[in-house]
Structure 1
């Protein structure tokens, strides 16, 4: 069982345009990422309203730099389908949060990683909200048009992985799973019950509640995946309206497959566009999968 605790309550940009896959690797994490427009949006001639950025952050700490590792940062947003500019809100949220979180991570003392990471994630989420709303208000003044924040409603997930640490900040839906010891896959977020399955919070909400912060430390952490809620019905098991665990066999092949320098994200894209996904998933789909190498038997191929 993963130990976990939760609070109640400038690096290279790794964001491709929606629909484009992206892959990278380092001495630590190897990852692949892709987004695909959902069948419902294709039928309605609507664009993909998901957005993401994924990359390694810069490390000024000489000790961490000497190790040749860097935190892997993932930001994912799902623009509200009912909002006229949900896609733009998602793009803004991922870009702003990536920049803010990168700067905060540069100051982290990893000797006290748990408390530091929780502070970074909570601060990044609130700073992102303030910066996003300020940008919208600035655009309103510039265009002399009132831009209602609700027109840009979007969820936001910020995920940081470094060594044995995995931290998640979340507002709204979407989910994160973690793999330990190369075999056991567990649902990390969400961990709270929502009253209605189709209701969620947005970072642009006027009365936003406290974001969910989840921090885990596990020496056996070997992989994680971040996804928007479009994948939830096919990837997670539910008890009523509450997601409770990953579906057996869904994520393990994905973790096993990450490692190729050239084909991982293309393979991920093919999965998201497969007939099964098109048939069962009406919403846009975004999936980021990251794994650690297995030493001499690393999954990373050269």
Structure 2
């Protein structure tokens, strides 16, 4: 049966409670930390001469779609009514708007150490100790808006810049490409600092704290953010029918990207699934 992912600002209070409860239970069971480990393990960069799957590569979108599906399956084993909501950061843009409510994700980190002190995922609440991290910090951190050098969340115009490109991706299939929907949405731009952070990447930096690291999955907003990114991929597919994932074939032996990106019909680690098999999810879920 096809289920629905809702805008977080349309969740009822009961739906918020059930979503939070399912996340906390998945964490208690030890399953949640495996998602953090998977993301850290596949967070390779352009300069690394190994297969790139999660970031800086065409597989950015299907890889995160699969990760979302796996988390959603874990949540629904706890409570079959739960799905992952999405956070439309082009509309809910303030640190006091949803999803930053005390009964949902909690709010900003305190000024001294960016530790989140409110909501169910605050360390002091006793249910969200960070055990898989790139540092030894055990509490959730945020810096909403990037206080020392303020930045704004992406706008509808920023999203349209990506959606209007009919090409999925282009050579050399990394963070330097200027043509193609994938990188325009993922958000690797030219320049340094905040001017180079676009769309998906800018949101990670706007949230700050653990969200700017390979261990970003430790902040539950990661899922709401990527649910919206996934929705934007769905919108791109609807706008450009017939345009599919690229590359269609693996880069050849003489190509510098040989063995470093996943082609459309190749297996997408760490799962036994291909990008092509993840392009059409209409039989699994829809967006409201």
TM-score range, shorter chain: under 0.3
Q: What is the TM-score normalised by the length of structure 2?
A: 0.27
Q: Which structure has more strand as a fraction of its residues? A: 1
Q: Which structure has more helix as a fraction of its residues? A: 2
